[in-house]
Amino acid sequence: MKVGLLGLGTVGTGVYEIINHQRGNYFASSKQEIVISKVMVRDIDKKRKVDVPAEYLTTDFKDIIDDEEIKVVICVMGGLEAEYNYMIQSMKRGKHVITANKAAVSEYMDVLYKTARENNVSFLYEASVGGGIPIITSLIQILRINQISEIKGILNGTTNFILSKMSDEGWDFEETLIKAQELGFAEADPTADIEGFDVSRKLSILSSMSFGFHIKDEDIKKRGIKEITSADIDTINDMGYVIKYLAHSKLEGNTYYATVEPVLLSTKDIMSNVNEEFNIISINGDIIGELQFYGKGAGKDATANAVVGDLMYIINADFRKQEIVLDQQLENGGIKEFSGKYYLRADSDNHEEFSHIIDTISDFSNNKKIIFNRSKVFVVTDEVRADQFEELVLELKSKNINLFYARIYS
Amino acid sequence: MKVGLLGLGTVGTGVYEIINHQRGNYFASSKQEIVISKVMVRDIDKKRKVDVPAEYLTTDFKDIIDDEEIKVVICVMGGLEAEYNYMIQSMKRGKHVITANKAAVSEYMDVLYKTARENNVSFLYEASVGGGIPIITSLIQILRINQISEIKGILNGTTNFILSKMSDEGWDFEETLIKAQELGFAEADPTADIEGFDVSRKLSILSSMSFGFHIKDEDIKKRGIKEITSADIDTINDMGYVIKYLAHSKLEGNTYYATVEPVLLSTKDIMSNVNEEFNIISINGDIIGELQFYGKGAGKDATANAVVGDLMYIINADFRKQEIVLDQQLENGGIKEFSGKYYLRADSDNHEEFSHIIDTISDFSNNKKIIFNRSKVFVVTDEVRADQFEELVLELKSKNINLFYARIYS
């Protein structure tokens, strides 16, 4: 069987090595001829870490789409519209599609599934969420029997690496980001990671599958991590918590709630020990209970493994039916079903402002713990609803008060 | 499609409810007629928690094996030889077999697979390890691409419940066991759980699948948890560790190593936060890296979900091929590839015996920390190989010294 590969970056290189260089169990022992016969790249002359015969390389998508021998197209490019169009065109020509492109799956899941069904091909995207963690396959299996009402996860390696290092080394955010960039754990433009777009796309994919309704990235409330300081980390650790960047969605009746934000976890929580580039995903099924899946959330080999795993389904003729159906009508309930005690740090130099901060918090929470320490006030509130706490924050921010806050989860 | 059910205990009841009472997503919405039409039980007149029509019940296996309409036999009885024979006979009559019986799978995996292949039927056993955790399915998928060289896990809810409660409540072992029995978390005869037979059967199944060689329960070195005292728990917690009952196997070249024993984990280790009836399994693949799977290791619904999940594969005609092949020739290397620092507690009333204990340990380890406390000596050794430490223990036990020891893992 012949396969076309779109993209030869990190993941594409890993996929090429497993298939054409016969790395791994299956390809090393199989007599079934599977080969990537065409690879679309932007620049044919670029120096590469993997040895690909010149005649395999092309810059023209037509060379792949018009090749009748190519039965599967693997899309491991990072853009959106062009990649989406390549996938749609491939399916319309009867080719199975496998992708690691979370932006395209998140934005166009409904059309991609519809096109796959109409053309009787597979559309598989295990590598789009959680790197090597087999979460998409597991979710499909769990959904055969269970209703899933809640998803939680640490889904971004860059931000988890930054938060782990801030905790372990006592570094400030900016300093840690630079180190992460030097080490290749953060991109030159880190916006998608540190502002939550990467995480919310993954949460969008998992939530859409689980709740049966296409929830897009933009439907998810998100808040970044760059306000976190080493003073926050110190105080949070002293209180016995760990700060993590959490994706969380819930379904109640016909309303869904979804958020991506920094939160505080007890050191007794399994997720509190998920560090550096590792990811974890928790799924709550009505019959099976809670399941958690942990593994490498990124990286060449782990992600390539997920892509090739999808190819195995096509080879084995499993998953021919597209079981996921997005036929529910749900409403977006925002964040008002999330609630908990809150940690808040506010910076101030004068007593009048301090009094204003404390008064404002008192309007929302009765019992609270307050610590003053060098031009900073640290507060832990009583239980408050997330949407109400946002009002409090807006009020403080309107006075130009510099602050950071996070809900305490466990 | 008609299904025969062998056994109507806890798990059998859960399976019956999901299928015949149409609990859950698939059965509640599907138009496909799937029904458990015969249930084999020991006593027809026994009062049951689930409403099964009298004409479905039988005590005679012939009623199931001779029923040509029954295409799948689900075996959720707990014995060994009889259950194994029911499964073999069912397959020989062209019926697919699903089981939760870890004893039979562990002991007869090779023959069960061989019989399934010869008769072109499915043999599925997701529920035999890890309750609701989809570990068997995941393992099969991972093995398509990866070599697996290491498996670790907390695989027994009863012992994990006992160790969690000893830690949290400060209770002694005997006291905790009685509480666990009262709460239904331990059986009247707890031997299989607290001596490690239950865990080693599960490790046998996972290791056999992963390493491609039939490793039986009896090939695994096991040590129980009943020597653990509240003095151990106190000391271990003070040192920053948590005690867990760990299954661990490794493959190096053509030699495997497998052990089931209490160990000490750092509170930074994910597994240290796995409490009560929950299980966790860590798999290490050469391409995908480490994956961990967490969920309810027992219980009616979670385990029934796993059984019915297997039925879904048969309905969807996935997994028709039996991908697991036990064709390797491996040697049992015992425990000599495990090593680490050791915690040891020895009880003694006189100074001469104390000196003997310390001298004996000095023969095996240079740097060691020693604490004396009320007729007890607590020692942490330098790194020692597991087989050598066993010699040390034998030497001390030969002098009738009461002791407990555990390797420090992380």
The answer for A 298-317 residues in CB contact with B (under 8 A) is 299, 301-302, 304-306, 308-309, 312, 316
Q: What is the pLDDT averaged over residues B223-240?
A: 96
Question: For residues B34 and A4, what is the distance between their CA atoms, to the nearest angstrom?
Answer: 40
A247 has which bridge partners? A153, A260
Q: Which amino acid is at B17?
A: E
Which residues of B are less than 8 Å from A274 in CB distance?
Answer: 270
- For the record, the structure tokens of A188 come out as 């030159």
A9 is in an annotated binding site: yes
Which residues of A are less than 8 Å from B321 in CB distance?
Answer: 316
Q: Could you tell me which CATH number the domain at A339-408 has?
A: 3.30.70.600
Residue B37 dihedral angles phi and psi, to the nearest 5°: -100, -15
Question: For residues B316 and A132, what is the distance between their CA atoms, to the nearest angstrom?
Answer: 25
CB contact under 8 A, B134 and A142: yes
- For the record, the structure tokens of B141 come out as 């998928």
Residue A376 is predicted with a pLDDT of 94
Question: For residues B12 and B3, what is the distance between their CA atoms, to the nearest angstrom?
Answer: 12
Strands A376-380 and A342-347 come out as: antiparallel
Is pLDDT above 60 for B320? no
Is residue B20 within 8 A of residue B35, CB to CB? The reply is yes
Cα nearest neighbour of A132 on chain B? B288
- Helix, strand and coil content of chain A, in percent to the nearest 5, comes to 40, 25, 35
- Torsion angle of the four alpha carbons B263, B268, B271, B272, in this order, in degrees rounded to the nearest 10: 60
Residue B315 is predicted with a pLDDT of 86
Cα nearest neighbour of B274 on chain A? A270
CB contact under 8 A, B146 and A25: yes
A147 interfaces chain B, CB cutoff of 8 Å:
yes
Which residues of B are less than 8 Å from A144 in CB distance?
Answer: 25-26, 309, 312
**DSSP letter assigned to residue B45:** T
- For the record, the structure tokens of B153 come out as 């896990």
* Minimal Cβ distance to A289: which of B144, B302, B308: B302
Is residue B384 within 8 A of residue B239, CB to CB? The reply is no
Any idea which of B1-5, B248-252, B351-355 has the lowest mean pLDDT? B351-355
Which residues of A are less than 8 Å from B267 in CB distance?
Answer: 267
CB contact under 8 A, A24 and B288: no
For B114-165, what is each residue's pLDDT tens digit? 999 999 999 999 999 999 999 999 999 999 999 999 999 999 999 999 999 9
Cα nearest neighbour of A25 on chain B? B145
Question: For residues B5 and B59, what is the distance between their CA atoms, to the nearest angstrom?
Answer: 11
Residue B410 is predicted with a pLDDT of 81
For B267-314, what is each residue's pLDDT tens digit? 999 999 999 999 999 999 999 999 999 999 989 999 999 999 999 988
Beta strand ranges found along A238-330 (DSSP E)? 241-252, 255-266, 278-285, 289-296
CB contact under 8 A, A24 and B290: no
Question: For residues A76 and A270, what is the distance between their CA atoms, to the nearest angstrom?
Answer: 32
Cα nearest neighbour of B315 on chain A? A144
**Model confidence at B316, in pLDDT bands (50, 70, 90)?**
confident
Q: Where are the alpha helices (DSSP H) in B146-229?
A: 157-169, 173-182, 191-194, 197-211
Nearest CA-CA partner of A124 in A299, A311, A301: A311
| Greater model confidence, B365 or B135 | B135
Q: What is the DSSP string of A65-118?
A: HT-TTEEEEEE----SHHHHHHHHHHHHTT-EEEE--HHHHHHHHHHHHHHHHH
Question: For residues B159 and B246, what is the distance between their CA atoms, to the nearest angstrom?
Answer: 10
Q: What is the pLDDT averaged over residues B198-224?
A: 97
B147 interfaces chain A, CB cutoff of 8 Å:
yes
Nearest CA-CA partner of B236 in B259, B265, B261, B260: B265
Residue A86 dihedral angles phi and psi, to the nearest 5°: -60, -40
Residue B321 is predicted with a pLDDT of 61
Helix (H, G, I), strand (E, B) or coil at A123: strand
Cα nearest neighbour of A302 on chain B? B288
Q: What's the CA angle centered on A66, arms A65 and A71, to 5 degrees?
A: 60
Nearest CA-CA partner of A208 in A294, A109, A76, A275: A109
CB contact under 8 A, B295 and A288: yes
Indicate the fold that domain B2-124 takes in CATH: Rossmann fold (3.40.50)
Is residue B295 within 8 A of residue B104, CB to CB? The reply is no
Which residues of B are less than 8 Å from A270 in CB distance?
Answer: 270, 273-274, 294
Q: How far does the CA of residue B374 sit from the closest CA of chain A (Å)?
A: 31
CB contact under 8 A, B287 and A23: yes
Is residue A272 within 8 A of residue B273, CB to CB? The reply is yes
Residue A49 dihedral angles phi and psi, to the nearest 5°: -80, -10
Which residues of B are less than 8 Å from A288 in CB distance?
Answer: 132, 295-296, 301-302, 305-306
Which residue numbers in chain A have pLDDT < 70? Answer: 31-32, 318-321
CB contact under 8 A, B141 and A147: no
Q: Which amino acid is at A274?
A: V
Cα nearest neighbour of A30 on chain B? B144
Question: Which of A38, A95, A202, A222 is an active site residue?
Answer: A202
Question: For residues B171 and B193, what is the distance between their CA atoms, to the nearest angstrom?
Answer: 19
Residue A237 is predicted with a pLDDT of 95
The answer for B 333-392 residues in CB contact with A (under 8 A) is none
Is pLDDT above 70 for B31? no
Give the residue extent of every domain in chain B.
Answer: 2-124, 149-297, 339-408
Question: Which of B202, B222, B244, B296 is an active site residue?
Answer: B202
Helix (H, G, I), strand (E, B) or coil at B158: helix
Could you tell me which residues of B are annotated as the binding site for NADP(+)?
A: 6-13
Could you tell me which residues of B are annotated as the binding site?
A: 6-13, 102, 187
- For the record, the structure tokens of B23 come out as 């609990």
- For the record, the structure tokens of A131 come out as 């790197």
Is pLDDT above 70 for B326? yes
Q: What is each CA distance from A321 to A120, A122, A385, B116, B124, in whole angstroms?
A: 8, 8, 41, 25, 21
Mutate which: A26, A160, A270, vs B, most B CBs within 10 A: A270
Q: What is each CA distance from B354 to B19, B376, B378, B379, B406, in whole angstroms?
A: 62, 9, 11, 12, 19
Helix (H, G, I), strand (E, B) or coil at B73: strand
Nearest CA-CA partner of A134 in B212, B292, B322, B207: B292
Nearest CA-CA partner of A39 in A86, A73, A78: A73
Is residue A241 within 8 A of residue A342, CB to CB? The reply is no
Q: How far does the CA of residue B148 sit from the closest CA of chain A (Å)?
A: 10
How many CB atoms within 10 Å of residue A358? 15
Q: Is-catalytic flag, A202? A: yes
- For the record, the structure tokens of A112 come out as 């991609």
- For the record, the structure tokens of A370 come out as 């307050």
Q: Which residues have CB under 8 Å from B85's CB, separation 6+?
A: none
CB contact under 8 A, A287 and B305: yes
How many CB contacts within 8 angstroms connect chain A with chain B?
146
Q: What is the DSSP string of B88-110?
A: HHHHHTT-EEEE--HHHHHHHHH
Helix (H, G, I), strand (E, B) or coil at A194: helix
Is residue A162 within a helix (H) or strand (E), and if so which, with residue range?
Answer: helix A157-169
Cα nearest neighbour of A317 on chain B? B318
- Torsion angle of the four alpha carbons A389, A173, A355, A387, in this order, in degrees rounded to the nearest 10: -10
Q: What is each CA distance from B225 to A324, B292, B336, in whole angstroms?
A: 45, 24, 21
CB contact under 8 A, A294 and B270: yes
Q: How far does the CA of residue A209 sit from the closest CA of chain B (Å)?
A: 14
Is residue B305 within 8 A of residue B132, CB to CB? The reply is yes
Question: For residues B130 and A234, what is the distance between their CA atoms, to the nearest angstrom?
Answer: 38
Which residues of B are less than 8 Å from A316 in CB distance?
Answer: 318, 321
CB contact under 8 A, A273 and B273: yes
Stated length of chain A: 410
Residue B39 dihedral angles phi and psi, to the nearest 5°: -130, 120
Helix (H, G, I), strand (E, B) or coil at B382: coil
What is the distance in angstroms between the CA of the first residue and the CA of the last residue of chain B?
50
Residue B128 is predicted with a pLDDT of 97
Residue B397 is predicted with a pLDDT of 94
Residue B366 is predicted with a pLDDT of 86
For B184-198, what is each residue's pLDDT tens digit? 889 999 999 999 999
Residue B318 is predicted with a pLDDT of 59
Residue with tokens 């799978």: B105
Stated length of chain B: 410
Residue B256 is predicted with a pLDDT of 98
Question: For residues B267 and B409, what is the distance between their CA atoms, to the nearest angstrom?
Answer: 11
Q: Could you tell me which CATH number the domain at A135-297 has?
A: 3.30.360.10
Q: What is the ipTM of this complex?
A: 0.94
Is residue B410 within 8 A of residue B269, CB to CB? The reply is yes
**DSSP letter assigned to residue A388:** H
CB contact under 8 A, A273 and B268: yes
The answer for B 240-299 residues in CB contact with A (under 8 A) is 267-270, 272-274, 285-296, 299
State CA A120 to chain mean position distance: 28
Nearest CA-CA partner of A158 in A142, A178, A140: A178
Q: Could you tell me which CATH number the domain at B149-297 has?
A: 3.30.360.10
Question: For residues B367 and B376, what is the distance between their CA atoms, to the nearest angstrom?
Answer: 19
